A and B are shown apart, each in its own frame.
Chain A
Amino acid sequence: EDQVTQSPEALRLQEGESSSLNCSYTVSGLRGLFWYRQDPGKGPEFLFTLYSAGEEKEKERLKATLTKKESFLHITAPKPEDSATYLCAVQASGGSYIPTFGRGTSLIVHP
């Protein structure tokens, strides 16, 4: 069974304090790993897709990396507007293509 574990559950940062969020996954074969941002009461907003170990993608202050067992979302010099829940999801290469989500990391960035 595909499993996705995200840590920490919650993270408080000061503005400008860089940090990383972790997503550990267990899947029979990885088709893709996705990062989403979710604001309270809103739908997940797509950020990145990573396909293979060693891949990296960047968008503004966010950088996602992937290994064979985990992915990191690095946040460089965060701003208060980066406060949100960040969800990780995996899609297996065999069988069902349904994305399986982790519980997310709730990030609060204080000014």
Chain B
Amino acid sequence: AAGVIQSPRHLIKEKRETATLKCYPIPRHDTVYWYQQGPGQDPQFLISFYEKMQSDKGSIPDRFSAQQFSDYHSELNMSSLELGDSALYFCASSLGLEAFFGQGTRLTVV
């Protein structure tokens, strides 16, 4: 069965650079979530989209933005990167209750 696809899997950026993370949800799923997970931490909700419209916003810094496109894929744009942005970034999609997660993008800011 198709799963949530994230790219890239690994990304290394320098401070103050910009990064773009991509997410391809499970076909026909109507909701996309973005989460950030630091080492040993629980996933922290960043932002979500329902039918391509932003639906909820969590602890997402102003330096980050996201959008969902007509083909339902979503992108998380991160600017002015800081060392503290180093984390695993997960995208999840759902149709109903259960959210299914991708394998994540590991972002390292050096």
Query: What total count of A-B pairs have CB within 8 Å?
Result: 51
Taking the complex as formed, is A66 at the interface, i.e. its CB lies under 8 A from any CB of chain B? Answer: no
Query: Which of A32, A41, A96, A103 contacts B42 (CB under 8 A)?
Result: A103
Which one of A43, A96, A97, A104 contacts B101 once the chains associate, using CB atoms below 8 Å? Answer: A43
Whether the pair A41, B88 counts as a contact (CB closer than 8 A) is: yes
Chain B interfacial residues counted at CB < 8 A: 23
A58 contacts B by Cβ under 8 Å: no
Chain A: how many interface residues by the 8 Å CB criterion?
22
Which residue of chain B lies nearest to A43 when distances are taken between CB atoms in the complex?
B101
Q: Which B33-66 residues have a C-beta within 8 angstroms of A? A: 33, 40-43, 45, 48, 56, 58
B43 touching A96 by the CB < 8 A rule?
no
The answer, yes or no, to whether B90 is at the interface (CB within 8 Å) is: yes
CB distance from A2 to the nearest CB of B (A): 11
* B42 x A102 contact (CB < 8 A): yes
Give A91 to B45 CA distance when docked, in angstroms.
12
Contact of B103 with A43 in the complex, beta carbons under 8 Å:
yes
**B58 close to A98 (CB less than 8 A):** yes
> Chain A contacts of B106 at CB under 8 A?
41
Q: Give the chain A neighbours of B58 by CB distance below 8 A.
A: 98
Q: Beyond the given A42-B104, A43-B104, A49-B97, could you list 18 further A-B residue pairs with CB under 8 A, ordered by the A residue number?
A: A32-B97, A34-B98, A34-B99, A41-B106, A42-B103, A43-B6, A43-B92, A43-B101, A43-B103, A44-B43, A46-B98, A87-B43, A96-B56, A98-B45, A98-B56, A99-B45, A103-B41, A104-B42
Using CB atoms and an 8 Å cutoff, list the residues of chain A in contact with chain B: 31-32, 34, 36, 41-46, 49, 87, 91, 96-104
**A-B residue pairs in contact (CB < 8 Å), sample of 24:** A31-B97, A32-B97, A32-B98, A34-B98, A42-B104, A43-B4, A43-B6, A43-B90, A43-B92, A43-B103, A44-B43, A44-B101, A45-B101, A46-B98, A46-B100, A46-B101, A87-B42, A97-B56, A98-B33, A99-B33, A99-B45, A101-B42, A103-B40, A103-B42
